[in-house]
Amino acid sequence: MKNPFRKDLVSRSRPEACTVVIFGATGDLTHRKLVPALYNLQVEGALPAGVKIIGFARRDKSDEEFRSGLEELNKKVSRSGHDDKVWADFEQNIHYHQSEFQDQEGYDRLAERLDEIDRERGGKGNRLFYIASAPSFFDDVLEHLKKAGLSESEDSCWSRVIVEKPFGTDLPTAQHLNQVVNRTFNEKDTYRIDHYLGKETAQNIMVLRFANAIFEPLWNNNYIDHVQITCAENLGMEGGRGGYYDKAGALRDMVQNHLLQLLSLVAMEPPTDLSADGVRDEKVKVLRSMRQWDTPELVAENVVRGQYIAGHVDGEKVVGYREEDRVDPESMTESYVALKIMIDTWRWSEVPFYVRMGKQLPKKATEISIHFKEPPTVLFNALAGGVPGGNVLVIRIQPDEGISLRMVSKIPGANLRLEPVKMDFHYATSFGKGSPEAYERLLLDSMAGDATLFARRDEVEEAWKFIDHIENAWHESKNPPEMAEFVAGSWGPKEADELLAKSGHKWRRL
């Protein structure tokens, strides 16, 4: 029977019209992700009427120049293609605002401009500020917005801020940034973006677990042997990313945020409701329960870091990590990381979660695989070949989004022989359409005031606490664990295989 009292907790608020101000509007993120996401929402009729976009950046540009640069890229990357007529309507609402991030006068002019838009609208409107520039500018933008009187929500209209990643580079910097955010904007108006949470398949993890009766009873250490989370990329340091990446590394760039968020969705307890805090309360408990690898010995035992050396990816010759543009030739930054995470809760006691991420691997693929324990062997063990492995539930985050369940079946014929088969669900064929881009969903949610798919302050800080121990062991200790090497285009260093082999496990082949 349906529970009549929970209805209000699943009904979603509607996105509201607002002016979106993008800081860093001439940059890559705005051109490749944010504006195409807003355009696609417009195509689908999902963008609230009256949304205006103001691009804030340093270069001198007219509205026309700004719009044509955006259009050029939209033609290349928009998932729904580019319709000249839709674009013509859409671009009428795009404007450019030239200013330095450090220049208060530029924010005061912005405030006047926003007031003007409000007057045209016939009343005070909502504002959504999106900080899409390097993290070194986050503080400046936040403080100047406050000084310009732009950060306060009022009864009749709101003022919200979306902060891009990386949210700090370690725990102290994240805490500092959280303080700045919280003294400039209300926490309820703060949206720390993690675009993995906006991916359809990531959102489906909770649905798979809690809207199906068959998985949850098995979702614990009685039935699950271990879990693997793999994020493979077949790119290196293209597009001048080496400068940023060599200061960050795979652990900070992907594990601290995206992959720990996926892990917390897999491992969390059922939330009491679907409110933003209901869900985030449960996720943060997972992050808090991660066993800390807080000595160099524990890090050496449970974490592998690596760099690619020259090799071939997709048939193309590629240079090694240390030869990449803007990377230090003696760099000790990892382009690959594999780690074992233990979650010390009743549900997950002694179930390893293996997480790996690497650049220049054979293909782009992110997936979570749940490896169930083997059944008792009494019946089929005597067969030639025995029972061929156990059940594996695979959640493909990207590409070919979907879910598959591996199970053992009898091969048709007179003899009793067993073989693994797959039950496979593909989003594209089941729903007849591709998934929206993560930024589409997240932008709409921020316009609707729904922070469920954004990281909360304590989640970010707990994740950094775990990561900092590892970074410290690598960079501060007297006997830092080794940097492993592997050939670009292979599946990572042999040390990562050995990490699993110690517990009798193997990485799943993607």
Ligand X SMILES: O=C1O[C@H](COP(=O)(O)O)[C@@H](O)[C@H](O)[C@H]1O
Ligand Y SMILES: NC(=O)C1=CN([C@@H]2O[C@H](COP(=O)(O)OP(=O)(O)OC[C@H]3O[C@@H](n4cnc5c(N)ncnc54)[C@H](OP(=O)(O)O)[C@@H]3O)[C@@H](O)[C@H]2O)C=CC1
For the annotated catalytic residues, the residue numbers are 258
151-180: contacts with ligand Y (CB under 6 A): 164-166
Distance CA 281, CA 264 (A): 11
- Listed residue (186, 200, 259) closest to 466, CA to CA: 259
Give the range of 52-60, 108-116, 178-186, 436-444 binding ligand Y by CB under 6 A: 52-60
Binding residue (CB under 6 A) for ligand Y from 39, 90, 96, 101? 101
135 lies in the site for ligand Y, by CB under 6 A: yes
Distance CA 360, CA 490 (A): 8
100 is in an annotated binding site: yes
Distance CA 196, CA 259 (A): 8
The Cα-based distances of 434 to 437, 438, 472 in angstroms read 9, 12, 42
440 lies in the site for ligand X, by CB under 6 A: no
324 lies in the site for ligand X, by CB under 6 A: no
Size of the site for ligand X (CB under 6 A): 6
**If you count DSSP H runs as helices and E runs as strands, how many of each does the chain have, helices first?**
18, 17
Structural contact between residues 229 and 356, judged by C-beta atoms closer than 8 angstroms: yes
The two structure tokens encoding residue 88: 């013509």
The smaller minimum CB distance to ligand Y, of residues 166 and 198, is found at: 166
Shortest separation between residue 489's beta carbon and ligand X, angstroms: 17
The smaller minimum CB distance to ligand X, of residues 253 and 461, is found at: 253
Geometric angle at alpha carbon 430, from 428 and 431, rounded to 5°: 70
Give the range of 25-33, 76-84, 142-150, 290-298 binding ligand Y by CB under 6 A: 25-33
Give the range of 27-35, 209-217, 375-383, 387-395 binding ligand Y by CB under 6 A: 27-35
314 lies in the site for ligand Y, by CB under 6 A: no
233 lies in the site for ligand X, by CB under 6 A: yes
Give the range of 23-31, 65-73, 351-359, 475-483 binding ligand Y by CB under 6 A: 23-31
C-alpha atoms less than 13 angstroms from C-alpha of 201 in its C-beta half-sphere: 23
What's the 3-state SS for 335-377?
Answer: CEEEEEEEECCCCCCCCEEEEEEECCCCCCEEEEEEEECCCCC
27 lies in the site for ligand Y, by CB under 6 A: yes
Binding partner of 82, given ligand X, ligand Y, none, CB within 5-8 angstroms per partner class? none
442 lies in the site for ligand Y, by CB under 6 A: no
24 lies in the site for ligand Y, by CB under 6 A: yes
Distance CA 358, CA 342 (A): 21
Structural contact between residues 160 and 189, judged by C-beta atoms closer than 8 angstroms: yes
Chain residues in the site for ligand X (CB under 6 A)? 165, 195, 233, 253-254, 366
Binding residues for ligand Y, rule: CB under 6 A, are 24-29, 32-33, 57-59, 100-101, 132-135, 164-166
